[in-house]
Structure 1
Amino acid sequence: MADEDEGEDGTESAEGRLGRRPRRPRRLRIVGCVLAGVLVLGAGSAAWAFWRLNGNIESVDIDSALGDNRPAKPRPTGSPSASAAPLATGALNILVLGSDSRSGKENAELGGGGEDSGARSDTAMVVHIDEGRTGATVVSIPRDTLVTRPSCPLESGGSTSVAYNVMFNSAYAVGGPVCAVKTVESLTDVRMDHYMEIDFSGFAKLVDALGGVTVTTDEDIDDEDSHLTLAAGTHHLDGEQALALARTRHGIGDGSDLGRIALQQHLVKALLDQIASTDLLTDPARLYRAADAITAGLTTDTGLDSLTELMNFAQSLRDLSSARTRTVMMPVAPAPYDRNRVVADEPEAGELWESLR
């Protein structure tokens, strides 16, 4: 049977065509309303996500706290041009700390201790990003290094006293990020342009958001303290396992902090490889989870305390890869008065820091 809008020969009659004309505008109106609704909802979701991520970030005004009594900033090289990229390309030195804070339920569970039992900087790395931001050097500072801890300003007022031959990680314990930065600058005579600190929970969630991380170990690991057991070989770790690997010390090598540093440096390169192989921009849900994980467990200086600043910084590192990242440890030697501690091995340590200025 022919459609009532068609003629006997099956072609559409003029009357039928006239009868259908109102349907197209109506369909367009419906589609337009749907699209408008999607755009409004999308914009609202994006605004909510930006507000949430931006609000996650905690910051410390290190520049104001330390004032001008610091190593000089290096002079920028090259000359600006109208055709230069808008993203910054200058060299940077960043102090990156891994905090073992048990503050909050998740950190307490991952750390295996009670909440609010204090915090130390058991992982400390000075990340030097080369001019052009296509290469980097990551220098680990052993927590057991004996240093002269300078007088540090306290948030509550006053300042700490100078302390001699104390463990490096005591700086964070007594004076927080400000004292950690001042101690590193005193030890290295290198100006720290930025500060980043990530806690247990933030690190584990970041690894999970990236889909895990693949590492290869040269020997078996069995550490009762970090609760990690791995046979020698290649393993794909989830966030909790990766955190345990970063904390492992007694189950590998001589059980010292130096063995743990080797694992942490290996893990840094594996994470760079994982980030490079994960196209976050094509997976908005994963991108959001990664950004939420990073910002929720992150403390920065005020120069990186907004989502916009962090995004610009990350974008400036788009050409950085694990192949262009060198990982080293500050040269150390056993302390002559305490064989369980180390001291900077000179002149090698000084030469290393000189190369990063």
Structure 2
Amino acid sequence: MTDHRRVRSRRGRWLRIALLTLAGLLVAGAGAAGYAYWKLNGNIKSVDINSQLGTARPPAATDGSFNILVLGSDSRAGSNGSLAGGNTDGTARSDTAMVVHVNQAHNHADVVSIPRDTLVSRPDCTGAGGKSVAAARSAMYNSAFEVGGPACAVKTTEQLTGLRMDHFVEIDFSGFASFINAIGGVTVTTTVAINDKDSGLNLAPGTHHLGGDQALAFVRTRHGVGDGSDLGRIELQKQMVKSILSQVGDMGLTSNPAKLWSVGDKLTRSITTDSDLASVSTLVGLADTLKGVGPEELTMVTLPVVTAPSDPNRVVAKKPQADQLWAALKADRSVPQAIVSSQPTNPADPTASASAQAG
């Protein structure tokens, strides 16, 4: 597990923002004004995943549980370039991916992060505009989004997990930074110094309140803390998700229409969803469904992986643990405790136990 962490790419990474936060913030109460509904509805971009994938997919659950694939793209298009720097050739990969499983009772969610460097068998798929993408026996997981867009990313994830992805959400660099600013920033604590010249983040040990640009740097940080591990960065991103949920819970959005509008407007401008989710009314319904899920009702883990035999800079799913994880979610059971307790260390707080990931 050591060599693959020193991946040479300096491309930015994404916050794996929990959909539970995203949906709860979108438009709660915004339907009170017809203009607000129309404006926010028009902000949302969508992709017709179902028509692109057809029927050859895992069956949807019938017990009320459901799954959402949350992706981040490292696109440098538009305002993303000034925030992230790096390659501006027009391509984008899903350098952050979370499978969010919401249980039958809708009072708990398991969030599984899939490392971007995981080698997978990528299926053939049809991307935007009817473009055909050939299958690949051993491809980086995040390449599916690059070559075939959201539909290919969803199909690859379904093949990897055996789970039906009922919905899809994507957010970008500038969208994340704007969202953090809209909620008034987030508070994080680090027990070690973080100095990363690549992300531009410099934090002394202690508690800090971060604005949008700093929060983006925090979730992109890899070289400036710990052992430079991409898995370590995932732990920082998990920490950020819970900080966001706590910040949102303290805001009292429903009693502050101006703040609610600001947050809803910025967030709806920043996301792309599947077509079934791409309306204010549907998102409000999802937010209501998830209202019982907060920071303490989340279990956040990373897919168990080991160094790939073919490439020390890549990883593959660790067997049988990975299979046990997906089987548990498919059966609507909690993530096995053995997986929760064996998670990587958070480089910002190396003294924290892995069990802290469980809500």
- Superposed counterparts of 1:69-148, under 5 Å: 69-76=56-63, 90-104=64-78, 106-113=79-86, 115=88, 117-148=90-121
Offset of residue 219 of structure 1: 2.1
Q: Does the 8 Å contact 1:250/1:256 carry over to 2?
A: yes
Does structure 2 conserve the Cα–Cα contact (< 8 Å) formed by 1:190 and 1:353? yes
Give the stretch that moved more between structures: 67-76 or 166-175.
Answer: 67-76
Rounded Cα–Cα distance in structure 2 between residues aligned with 1:343 and 1:113: 27
Q: What are the superposed Cα offsets for residues 149-170 of structure 1, whole Å, 9 maximum, x if unpaired? A: 1101122324111112211110
- Shift of residue 276 of structure 1? 1.1
Match for residue 221 of structure 1?
194
**Residue 187 (1) aligns with residue 147 (2):** no
2:38 to 51, 54, 61: 51
The structure-2 alpha-carbon separation of the partners of 1:316 and 1:169, relative to structure 1 and needing over 3 Å to count, comes to same
Deviation at 1:114, TM superposition (A): 6.3
Instruction: State how far apart, in whole Å, the 2-side matches of 1:152 and 1:230 are.
Output: 43
Aligned residue pairs: how many?
301
- Cα displacement string for residues 13-48 of structure 1 (whole angstroms, at most 9, x for unaligned residues): xxxxxxxxxxxxxxxxxxxxxxxxxxxxxx999333
User: Helix, strand or coil for the counterpart of 1:148?
Assistant: strand
Residue number in structure 2 paired with 1:268: 241
TM-score under structure 2 length normalisation: 0.81
**Counterpart selection for 1:303 from 263, 268, 276:** 276
**Stretches of structure 1 lacking an aligned partner (at least 5 in a row):** 1-42, 77-89
Contact 1:171–1:183 under 8 Å retained in 2? yes
In structure 1, what is the Cα distance between the partners aligned to 2:116 and 2:276? 26
SS state at 1:74 partner: coil
In structure 1, the partner of 2:344 is none
Structure 2 counterpart of 1:212: 185
Distance 1:353 1:50, change over 3 A: same
Sequence identity of aligned pairs in percent? 55
| 2:181–2:212 Cα contact (<8 Å) kept | yes
Are 2:317 and 1:330 equivalent residues in the alignment? no
Determine helix, strand or coil for the equivalent of 1:323: helix
- Who is 1:343 aligned against? 316
Contact 2:31–2:37 under 8 Å retained in 1? no
CA shift for structure 1 position 275: 1.2
- Distance in 2 (CA, whole Å) between partners of 1:153 and 1:340 is 29
1:124 partner SS: strand
Q: Distance in 1 between matches of 2:99 and 2:127?
A: 23
Structure 1 pair 316–251 and aligned structure 2 pair: CA distance change class (3 A)? same
Task: Give the partner amino acid of 1:333.
Answer: V
Q: Residue by residue, what CA displacement relative to the aligned partner does 1:272-328 show, whole Å, maximum 9, x if unpaired?
A: 111111110111111011111110010000111001111111122111110110110
CA RMSD of aligned residues (A): 1.7
Q: Is the 8 A contact 1:54 1:307 kept in 2?
A: yes
CA pair 154-279 structure 1, distance change in 2 beyond 3 A: same
Distance in 2 (alpha carbons) for counterparts of 1:175 and 1:290: 31
Pairing partner for 1:62 from 26, 37, 49: 49
TM-score by length of 1: 0.81
Q: Which residue type is aligned with residue 50 of structure 2?
A: D
Alpha-carbon distance between aligned partners in 2 of 1:61 and 1:343, rounded to the nearest angstrom: 30
1:289 is matched with: 262
The CA deviation string for residues 181-215 of structure 1, in whole angstroms up to 9 with x for no partner, is 00101111111010000111111111111111111
Distance in 2 of aligned mates of 1:130 and 1:189: 16
Q: Distance in 1 between matches of 2:162 and 2:95?
A: 21
Please give the alpha-carbon distance, in whole angstroms, between the structure 2 residues aligned to 1:224 and 1:297: 27
Distance 1:319 1:238 in 2: 27
Which residue number corresponds to residue 337 of structure 2? none
Question: 2:222 maps to what in 1?
Answer: 249
Distance 1:210 1:316 in 2: 22
Given the alignment of the two structures, is residue 238 of structure 1 paired with residue 238 of structure 2, yes or no? no
Contact 2:40 2:265 in 1 (8 A): yes
- Higher RCO, 1 vs 2 (CA within 8 Å, ≥6 residues apart): 2
Secondary structure of 1:100's counterpart equals coil
**In 1: Cα distance, 2:37 partner to 2:131 partner:** 37
